[in-house]
Amino acid sequence: MPDAVLIISSKNYSSWSLRGWLLCKFAGLVFEERQLPSDDQIARMELLLLSPSVRVPCLTFDGVSVWDTIAIAEFLNDLRPDAGLLPSDRAASALCRSICGEMHSGFVNLRNALPMNLRAHHAGFNVYPGARADIARITEIWRECLSKYGGPYLFGPRSMADAMYAPVATRFATYDVSLDPACAAYAAHLLAMPEMLEWTDAAKAEPDEVEELDAEF
């Protein structure tokens, strides 16, 4: 029997659902996955960025429900401290928490201009300046961590930070964002993870489309 239940929305469009799902996978949690249909009001609000407090994804474990990806990450770290969601070094752990928080609360221009869509590919996409500033900051974070901790993930081994930034790698692929060699290698490494391949295959098989997110750019 699964230890837990994780409620998610679309695998094709929902970056937050992907983050919660990856965190559970990284923690080695056995869980039942329940997916809201795209016409569910809560799912649509989350996908269209209409509410910052929608409770998707939501993890239930042993009668306890926790939503919001940062809360899920910290809950799983408490539950499975040996899973390595946070680096063991105090300074690295502090940096990991900080960049996860930055991803969680920032980069609004990137979210709006480059919505996650795993089925799409927009070659030569013209990224508007506000989103370019977000891309510059994200790649700065990636380069700093990769240089400091040696890769292949942001803190050497996989951590919650890689779950938080994996959806960004999908956006960079979808919108043909040019990256420096170190960041391109890291993004490719994220997209090649078995968990990401599993999620992407499922996303591409989803029958539902959200018209607002499938507009021609």
| C-alpha dihedral (38, 44, 46, 51), degrees to nearest 10 | -170
Residue 41 has pLDDT above 70, yes or no: no
Q: How confident is the model at residue 44 (pLDDT cuts 50, 70, 90)?
A: low
With 70 as the cut, is the pLDDT of residue 100 above it? yes
**109-150 pLDDT per residue, tens:** 999 999 999 999 999 999 989 899 999 999 999 999 999 999
pLDDT of residue 186: 98
- Residue 215's pLDDT band, with cuts at 50, 70 and 90, is very low
* Domains of the chain by start residue, with CATH: 4-83 (3.40.30.10), 90-199 (1.20.1050.10)
Residue 54 has pLDDT above 80, yes or no: no
The answer on pLDDT for 99 being more than 90 is yes
Half-sphere exposure of 211 toward its Cβ, with a 13 Å CA cutoff?
A: 1
The structure's pTM equals 0.90
Q: What percent of the chain has pLDDT over 70?
A: 87
What is the residue whose two structure tokens read 């999620």?
199
Average pLDDT, the chain: 90
Q: At residue 66, what are phi and psi to the nearest 5 degrees?
A: -140, 130
The pLDDT of residue 43 is 56
Burial bucket for residue 129 (CB in 10 Å: 0-12, 13-18, 19+): exposed
What value, to the nearest 5°, has the Cα angle with vertex 106 and ends 100 and 111?
Answer: 110
Tokens of 138: 């994200």
Of 66, 142, 62, nearest in space to 99 by CA:
142
> How far is it, in rounded angstroms, from Cα 44 to Cα 13?
10
192-217 average pLDDT score:
78
What is the β-pairing status of strands 31-35 and 4-8?
parallel
